[in-house]
Amino acid sequence: MADNRPTKVSPEGDSKDPIILVQSFAATGHTVPLLQITQYLIEHGYDIYYLGGTQFQQVVEATGAKFIPLVGLCDTWIRDWLPIHGLGTHLDIVPSISKLLASLLPSALDSLRRALSLIRDREPDREVILVSEVAISGPVAALRLGAPLPDGYSEPPKSLGINIIPPTWTSVDHNDFWVDIPYDPNQNRKVSVLMAKLAREGIYKESWDTMKYVMETCSAFKPIESLFGDHGKMIDHRVWDMLFVCHDKILQMCIPSLEYPISDWPANFAFGGTLPPKAWRTPNFVFPDWFEQVRGNSAKDGISPGRRKIVAVAQGTLATDWDNVLIPTIQGLAGREDILVVAVLCIKGATLEGRLPGPPPDNTIVVDYFPYDAVIEHADVFVSNGSYGVFSHCVAHGVPMVLSGYTEDKIALGMRGEYAGFAFNLGSAQQTPEAFAKAVDTVLADPKFKTRAMQLRAEAEEFDALGTVERELRALF
């Protein structure tokens, strides 16, 4: 089977290169990976504009990029849309996220047009190439489906899609609906096709009708199905699959071993590799006092066999129902003298006051906000609901995982971690403290998890994700 590894092209950018417009969804987990790519490209001489959420202006400008704010609902959706609608669970995930994408499309398209026009006004003689995080690629699809172009453009800009969530692609080899359907290499393709057809005519019908209506209100009158080409004749696609095929090239930011073997990826697809650990420490960074406990028990160098094992736990910035994973993990490991738990709440100023029956256990450190990589590199195991960011970080550090989540892409990540062999997947049902403790003990006791994590780390390092992004970007010049 083909590796889908991008072809290497030429070296670093120069002043004659096109201007690069990077855009990302206005959420932390979607922005941080694109900031890492932006920083790399700027360090390699590229001229970058960045279209992103207003709350990220300071960190964007710190990379050296010129910031352009998103406007309207696509900038404020976490505050104005999410509390009302939510992102769904289980079979509701695809329809609810499709509803979000449709709701955000008009403001996202307006934002992209404004950004492209601004760049054209400032640099009338230079080409613009778009590097777009897939979750905010609806406007790219709209332009390719006939939506009016911004002033100064005779055709949509070339675009490189960056996907930092599980693939939004319906395959005849495996149609998982982002729910807990295990990959089965012997699955009958006719079953996948039938399931996709029934979903299209059932739970996905409203999603399709809504997106078609919104596209038409944006004057994008070409059929969405036209983006799928001949593959659309093989199987009925989910509406969000358009985000995967609307680009000249799409990079799935993982290594092949983290994804199911699929024979019918779209023609524009390639693996981009897992992003490496970030340079998270600033010149004035001061480690908190509690971090000495982490250093003293670090798994990094395989030191003292009598040390406490370090179990890190976090749930990301959106799925913050800590009763799902974080609190039961703390409770399940409470009082264990052989384990040090580091629980990161991922929200500045947050506490667990009132959420536990008393103070945190003596073997637990609770911190509101702290760089993932600083903890992961010392950890024996990371417990998570399964965000793609922490998933990638653990691969980059060779750290095995325990996974259990039921919102957004979390179910799909749990299944892929289990398939790749470096994670214990507790599934999407709410688990007890005892279940989390048993899963952690299983990973700590069985060396196959750590061995596999280190194999994946070596594969990721060899892949060179940031270099791959640059090479694939230059192929569009």
pLDDT tens track, the chain, 477 positions? 445 544 444 445 556 789 999 999 999 889 999 999 999 999 999 999 999 999 999 999 999 999 999 999 999 998 999 888 887 777 677 888 899 999 999 999 999 999 999 999 999 999 999 999 999 999 999 999 999 999 999 999 999 999 998 888 999 998 776 666 778 877 778 888 998 999 899 888 999 999 999 999 999 999 999 999 999 999 999 999 999 999 999 999 999 999 999 999 999 999 999 998 876 656 778 889 999 999 999 988 655 678 999 999 998 766 678 889 999 999 999 999 999 999 999 888 888 988 888 899 999 999 998 888 889 999 999 999 888 888 889 999 999 999 998 777 788 889 999 999 999 999 877 899 999 999 999 999 999 999 999 999 999 999 999 999 999 999 999
Note whether residue 140 is domain-resident: yes
Burial label for 472, CB within 10 Å (0-12, 13-18, 19+), is buried
Pairing of strands 48-52, 423-425: unpaired
**Do residues 428 and 318 both lie within one domain?**
yes
- CA torsion sign, 76 to 82 to 85 to 90? positive
**Contact by Cβ (8 Å): 476, 248:** yes
**Do residues 246 and 350 both lie within one domain?**
no
Round to whole Å and give the CA distance between 354 and 254: 39
- Both tokens of 123, joined, read 């640099």
Residues 6+ apart with CB under 8 A from 287: none
Note whether residue 272 is domain-resident: no
Other C-beta atoms closer than 10 Å to the C-beta of 1 total 7
| Total structural domains within the chain | 2
Which CATH number fits the domain that encloses residue 457? Answer: 3.40.50.2000
Which CATH number fits the domain that encloses residue 119? Answer: 3.40.50
User: Over the stretch 242-264, which tens digit does the pLDDT of each residue have?
Assistant: 999 999 999 999 999 999 999 99
Q: Which pLDDT score, from 0 to 100, does residue 382 have?
A: 96
Strands of the sheet with 249-252, listed across from one edge: 66-69, 48-52, 19-23, 128-133, 159-163, 249-252, 269-271
Q: Which pLDDT score, from 0 to 100, does residue 225 have?
A: 95
**Do residues 298 and 247 both lie within one domain?**
no
Q: Which pLDDT score, from 0 to 100, does residue 303 have?
A: 58
Note whether residue 414 is domain-resident: yes
Q: Which pLDDT score, from 0 to 100, does residue 304 have?
A: 65
Residues 6+ apart with CB under 8 A from 267: 229
**Do residues 312 and 247 both lie within one domain?**
no
* Residue whose token pair is 């004057």: 219
Residue at a domain's end among 223, 252, 281: 252
Note whether residue 474 is domain-resident: no
Q: Which domain, by its residues, includes 207?
A: 19-252
Q: What is the pTM of this model?
A: 0.90
Other C-beta atoms closer than 10 Å to the C-beta of 354 total 6
* Residue whose token pair is 């609901």: 385
**Do residues 181 and 51 both lie within one domain?**
yes
Note whether residue 389 is domain-resident: yes
Note whether residue 248 is domain-resident: yes
Round to whole Å and give the CA distance between 130 and 476: 10
- SS3 labels along 54-79: HHHHHHHHHCCCEEEECCCHHHHHHH
**Do residues 210 and 87 both lie within one domain?**
yes
Q: Which pLDDT score, from 0 to 100, does residue 302 have?
A: 59
Q: Which of 392, 429, 385 is nearest to 409 (CA)?
A: 385
**Do residues 334 and 211 both lie within one domain?**
no
**Do residues 233 and 330 both lie within one domain?**
no
Round to whole Å and give the CA distance between 92 and 327: 25
Q: Which pLDDT score, from 0 to 100, does residue 30 have?
A: 93
- CA torsion sign, 347 to 73 to 54 to 140? positive
- Both tokens of 19, joined, read 């201007």
**Do residues 295 and 243 both lie within one domain?**
no
What's the first-to-final CA gap in the chain, in angstroms?
29
**Do residues 210 and 297 both lie within one domain?**
no
Note whether residue 9 is domain-resident: no
Q: Which pLDDT score, from 0 to 100, does residue 12 have?
A: 54
Other C-beta atoms closer than 10 Å to the C-beta of 446 total 12
Note whether residue 5 is domain-resident: no
Q: Which pLDDT score, from 0 to 100, does residue 177 have?
A: 64
**Do residues 337 and 449 both lie within one domain?**
yes
Strands (E), 327-475: 339-344, 364-367, 381-384, 401-403, 423-425
**Do residues 178 and 326 both lie within one domain?**
no
